[in-house]
Amino acid sequence: VPIPAGTVPFLKQYRDVLRPVLLKGRSPLFFINRFGRKVTPRSVELLLQNKCAELGFRKHITPHKLRHSYATHML
C-alpha cells in the first residue's frame, strides 16, 4: 500500500513519541490503543466520526469511504 510522503512524518512522530507512551510492555502491533491493545475497526470509525463532527463535516464519512476514494483516486 503506497503511503503519501506527507504522511511519513506523522507516522514517525507517532512511532517515536505517542506509541511509547501508550505501550505498556512490548507489542508487535504498530497501532495500539490507550490500553496497549490493537486498534479495532470500530474505534477507528468512532475516531473518524468524532473528528468529522468536530470539523463540522455534514456528510457521514467512514474508513471504507476513505479507502474507496483513495483507491479511485489512484486509478
38 three-class SS:
strand
- Indicate if 45 and 28 belong to the same structural domain: no
**Domain, as residue range, for 48:** 40-75
- Indicate if 31 and 50 belong to the same structural domain: no
Task: Provide the number of structural domains found in the chain.
Answer: 2
pLDDT above 90 covers a percentage of the chain that reads 47
pLDDT at 44 over 70: yes
- Indicate if 48 and 64 belong to the same structural domain: yes
- Indicate if 1 and 28 belong to the same structural domain: yes
Among the residues of 1-75, which ranges form H helices?
8-13, 19-22, 41-55, 63-74
Q: What is the pLDDT of residue 24?
A: 67
Please report which confidence band the pLDDT of residue 13 belongs to, taking 50, 70 and 90 as the band edges: very high
Q: What is the pLDDT of residue 65?
A: 93
- Indicate if 27 and 48 belong to the same structural domain: no
